Chain A
Amino acid sequence: MSHTIRIALAALVLSAGAVLAQPQPGSPSGQNPTTRAVNEEQLLREFERLDGRVTIPDSKAATLEQPQGREWRTFREGWLPWIAGIAILGMLLALVIFYFTKGRVRLDHSEESGTKILRFNTFERFTHWLTASSFIVLGLTGLNYIFGKRILMPLIGPDAFSALSQWGKYAHNYLAWPFMLGILFMMVVWLRDNIPNRVDAAWLKAGGGFLGDAHPSAGRFNAGQKIVFWIVMLGGIAMSVTGIILMFPISAVDVNGIQLNQAIHAIIGVLFVAAILAHIYIGSLGMEGAYDAMGSGEVDLAWARRHHDLWVEEQQAKTASGPQLGGSRPIPAE
């Protein structure tokens, strides 16, 4: 009897347990069973990268998430606007301060000789303006990538900004080619005259004539111009290489390489724009007579003697008889 009671009790307990084990609506066991399963965030924290397997030809599609993407976004949205803003606004501020403290570098008009000397021939000026006009569009459209949605979009609205950015991107991609050609031409025509020498050290020591009254000697290009030349050459080559990699995505590097390239392209780009702002200033507003060299190609002989005395001597030695020095015909530079 007692044995029968024990079996009955055991059966009762088991059946009660089975009833209690049934999922009840609203109870924890009634929740979605995958809720407590490992999720994407936990996997990412554990492995730092989520990869799967794909059968489509694009094997890159197997990567679901990787930390570099977030690091790049942090740089792109956080650091880059600050780097660009400080570089460009800092340079503009420095130029404004320089202008109001030192003023324009003037040539006393009584010093003008009335004789012109050819400083840059037609091909040299063509090369300069081919590169410069492309660079202006590249610089503006490049800055639109960084500041456009922050500054322009609130002003002109999303539709106009979208159209402008799309055309800006076309201009950026396609005007990169005349820019690169210009860099190549510049290298061919000006490399020889931009190799640093001892005269440059003396020019820099004298602060390029800005620090004192005496004007230091210079050849065809002074040390400041040589610095600009090498910034343009090295910056131009770096921008060209990183730009081509970006223009043909996944051809040479993977997605991490593209992000790294984009960061390098953007940082060099904003520093390049800042440096060229100084070049534009000194070639136009900052120095009287400097624009003529790249505008008409001819400068006053007195201006040339003041800023590039060694080059003028070299030119006079080449045309030792120098009949043109007495007249108004320009002296050929080469």
Chain B
Amino acid sequence: MKTILLAVVAALAIGAGAAALLSATQKTAYMAYTTSGARVSEPGHNLVGPAWTGRI
């Protein structure tokens, strides 16, 4: 049981490490495609709308 718990904790720790690393290196699309000549605005979070119709 000790080994199982250790493995679960290790999985969570590696996952948290991956999250920190990826979050530090990745950008959202609107940031990645913004240049000095083209600005892409922040699209918000809920792109489908509360009723999943596309109307926000």
Contacts and interface: CB of A to CB of B under 8 A. Distances in A.
- Which 10 pairs of residues, A with B, have the shortest CB-CB distance? A129-B7, A177-B18, A178-B14, A178-B11, A174-B15, A130-B7, A125-B3, A174-B19, A175-B15, A56-B38
Interface residues of B, number: 20
Contacts of B35: 56-57
A173 B1 CA distance: 27
A285 interface: no
A170 B14 contact: no
Interface of B: 1, 3-4, 6-8, 10-11, 14-19, 22, 33, 35, 38, 50, 52
A3 B8 CA distance: 107
Interface of A: 55-58, 122, 125-130, 132-134, 158, 170-171, 173-179, 181, 247, 295, 297
A122 B6 CA distance: 10
B55 to A, nearest CB: 14
Query: Among the interface residues A171, A175, A179, A247, which one has the most CB atoms of the partner chain B within 10 A?
Result: A175
Given A125-B3, A295-B1, A177 B33 contact: no
A128 B6 CA distance: 11
A21 B26 CA distance: 62
A280 to B, nearest CB: 14
Contacts of A175: 11, 15
Contacts of A128: 7
Contacts of B33: 56-58
A129 B18 contact: no
B8 A133 contact: yes
Contacts, number: 63
Contacts of B6: 126, 129
A125 B1 CA distance: 10
A122 B2 CA distance: 10
A126 B3 contact: yes
Contact of B10 (A126, A132, A297): A126
Given A57-B35, A158-B52, A129 B16 contact: no
B4 A129 contact: yes
B20 to A, nearest CB: 9
Query: Among the interface residues B3, B6, B16, which one has the most CB atoms of the partner chain A within 10 A?
Result: B3
Contacts of A130: 7, 10-11
Nearest to B21: A177
Given A122-B3, A174-B18, A177-B18, 14 more contacts: A56-B38, A125-B3, A126-B6, A132-B7, A174-B15, A174-B16, A174-B22, A176-B18, A177-B14, A178-B10, A178-B11, A178-B14, A295-B4, A297-B3
Contacts of A58: 33
Contacts of A297: 3
18 contacts: A56-B35, A125-B3, A126-B3, A126-B6, A126-B7, A127-B7, A129-B6, A130-B10, A132-B7, A133-B4, A134-B15, A171-B15, A173-B22, A175-B15, A177-B18, A181-B14, A295-B1, A297-B3
